[in-house]
Every structure is written in C-alpha cells, then in structure tokens.
Amino acid sequence: MSKPNIRKSLTSTAYERLRRDLLNCVLRPGERLNINELCQTTGFNLSAIREAISKLTAEGLIVADEKRGFSVAPISVSELRDLTRVRAEIENLCLRRAMTLGDLSWEAGVMAAYHIMSNTRRVVGEGAAVANDAWWAAHATYHRALVCACDSPWLMRLRDQLFDQSERYRILGTQIRMSKARDVEREHQDITEAVLARDADRATGLMAAHFEMTTHILLQADEEGADLTGGEARMLIDDAVAQN
C-alpha cells in the first residue's frame, strides 16, 4: 500500500472512531477537545486526528472557536425543537422524491429493511432491560431505505447530517420509562404501508408525527426534571420506550 493510501486509511479510521464517540456521547456535548489527549487515547497520530476533526467540524458535530479551540457541539431544548422541525422538512422532501422515483428494487429494499427491523428485539437483558444496538442499527437502515431513491445528493447529505445530530438526543438523558408512551411498531407499519402505496401526503404526515412524538417524550421528561444535557447522564430505553 502506498503512503498516500496509508494516510487516507488512518484518517478514515480516526474519523470513524471520533464520529462514533461523538454520536454515542462518549465525547460529551460541550466538552473541550484536547488534540494531544485524543492522540493518546485513540492511538492515532496528530495528522489523522486533525483531519478527522476538520471533517467532523464541517458536519456540525464539532465546533471551532478562535479562543477555546475545538469542542463537542452542545445540545439544548431549543435546538431539539429546531432540529426536529428542520429534520422533518428535509426528510419529507427526500421521501417525496423517493416515492416518485423509486422502482421495484427500492420497494423490495424498504420491505426487507422493515422486515429485519420488525423481527429484531428492541431491548436486551433481564430486569432493567436496555436498548439493543442491533435494533437501532436496523432502525437506521430502515429509515435510510425509505429515502434512498431520492436523486438529490445535497438533500441526502443534509438528511444524514440531521439524522446523526438527532442520534445524540437518543443517547443523552436519564432513565426514562414510559410504558404507554407510544406504539412504535404501528407507527413504522403505517409509514411503510403509506410509502409503498405511494401516498405521499399520508406518508409525510406520518413521518413528521413520528419525529415529533420522540421530541414530545424528551421535552416532557425534561419538564419532569430529567437532565437531557447532563454530561454523565445516559438514556436507558426499556422495552416500552421507542424513539424515531
């Protein structure tokens, strides 16, 4: 392997590692980033870390300040509301294009992704069950499958960026248990049926409601005293809690 390819591989691996830590809130919202410390903890060289941080800054997961340097993008209740509104608008633009352009292969992909998600347990463990990472991966694949026939690279880039930002709100918080909060399986079923029926108005309406329900649950928890922005807090989702 040539030196340029080795450098590219190191940068890509460093980027994926930091991105995963950001989305999982291992690197906490608002936390200042020390590049030398990141090199030590991750094992990557200075060049790879710097290039990864540059890319993540462009994606909005890291923010740069002339005086403070780099830090993890903060979160807030006001941002959550704005993020939900913008995400629904962009997602539905992608969804409408996908329903217009999608062929039989696209329909098959939607059905396959829905089938896998529906047959994957959302929680694991006994007693204080916690979220099953396999379900969340299947869930992300399902939502991506719905819009993948969209022919606008810019819309899809924006859509993916908004999805990643929303994932941080799934992780953060305290233990939230709302056994009768929603029927997420039915939400996904209704969305799938509307999409495959090419009923754009119904599908986009259901999608917006799907996103807004999660925001409502998180804001309700915040009003009841849950710390959605606490650095050490981590949301544990039991078998009755579901988010978009």
Question: What DSSP string describes 100-143?
Answer: HH--HHHHHHHHHHHHHHHTS-SEESSSS-EE-HHHHHHHHHHH
Q: Give the pLDDT of residue 232.
A: 34
**The pLDDT value given to residue 130:** 63
**Distance between CA 221 and CA 227 in Å, rounded?**
8
What tens digit of pLDDT does each residue of 158-179 get?
999 999 888 888 766 433 444 3
Q: How many CB atoms lie within 10 A of CB 94?
A: 23
Coil, strand, or helix at residue 227? coil
pLDDT of amino acid 76: 85
pLDDT (0 to 100) of residue 14: 92
pLDDT tens across the length of the chain (244 residues): 445 555 568 889 999 999 988 888 788 888 999 999 999 999 999 999 999 999 999 988 999 988 889 999 988 888 889 999 999 999 999 999 999 999 999 999 999 999 999 999 887 766 555 667 788 889 999 999 999 999 999 999 999 999 988 888 876 643 344 434 568 899 999 999 999 999 999 999 999 999 998 788 777 766 665 555 543 333 333 322 334 4
Rounded to a whole number of angstroms, the CA Rg of the chain reads: 19
Domains within the chain, CATH numbers bracketed:
3-72 (1.10.10.10), 77-223 (1.20.120.530)
Query: Which pLDDT score, from 0 to 100, does residue 218 have?
Result: 75
Amino acid at 129: A
What confidence score (pLDDT) does residue 64 get?
A: 93
Q: 197: burial class by Cβ within 10 Å (0-12, 13-18, 19+)?
A: exposed
The values of phi and psi at residue 86, to 5°, are: -70, -40
